[in-house]
Amino acid sequence: MKVAVACDHGAYEYKEKVIEILKSLEHEVEDFGCYDKQSVDYPDMVYPAAKSVADGKNDCGIVLCGTGIGASITANKVKGIRCSLVSDLFTAKVTREHNDSNVLALGQRVLGESIMEEIVRTWLATPFSEDQRHKNRIEKIKSIEEKEE
């Protein structure tokens, strides 16, 4: 799988750890930055990463900032993105099973490193359920996007 990864300065350390996890699982990584702890604005990195997922250049994405909130809001502005801000294992699993989320948002300042790692592994390993009720709901989300263009 090819995974887009992006962060701001508030999550640089976790982005680097996410990349290590992805590579250990033999996923290909496209790193959209940032590349150090210098202050930057998360939309500058998160938008291109999310866009690459929406355009099919990457299979999914993981975006990070201090809380994950700004990264998730930015990613969800991109048509076709279903980004979920996750802080627990149940949500990591359900957002894939029910919502077929294609971008995961995480906050370095609100998650311990071990739970962050477990969330990433769980999210990546959980497939979409393919239940018709969930497909119907995703189609409704898509129709909302079309109305908002």
**Side by side, which strands form the sheet with 2-7?**
28-31, 2-7, 60-65, 103-107, 83-85
Whether 149 shows a pLDDT value over 80: the answer reads no
pLDDT digits (tens, 9 = 90+) for 85-128: 999 999 999 999 999 999 999 999 999 999 999 999 999 999 99
Q: pTM of the entire structure?
A: 0.97
Q: Can you list the domains of the chain with their CATH numbers?
A: 2-147 (3.40.1400.10)
The gap between the terminal CA atoms of the chain, to the nearest Å, is 30
pLDDT per residue over 5-53, tens digit each?
A: 999 999 999 999 999 999 999 999 999 999 999 999 999 999 999 999 9
65 is known as an active-site residue = yes
Annotated catalytic, 34? no
Say if residues 81 and 103 touch (Cβ distance below 8 Å): yes
Query: Which candidate in 34, 65, 83, 134 is catalytic?
Result: 65
Percentage, residues of the chain above pLDDT 90 = 99
- Average model confidence (pLDDT) across the chain: 97
Residue that has been written with the tokens 């239940």 in this structure: 131
Any idea what DSSP says for residue 9? G
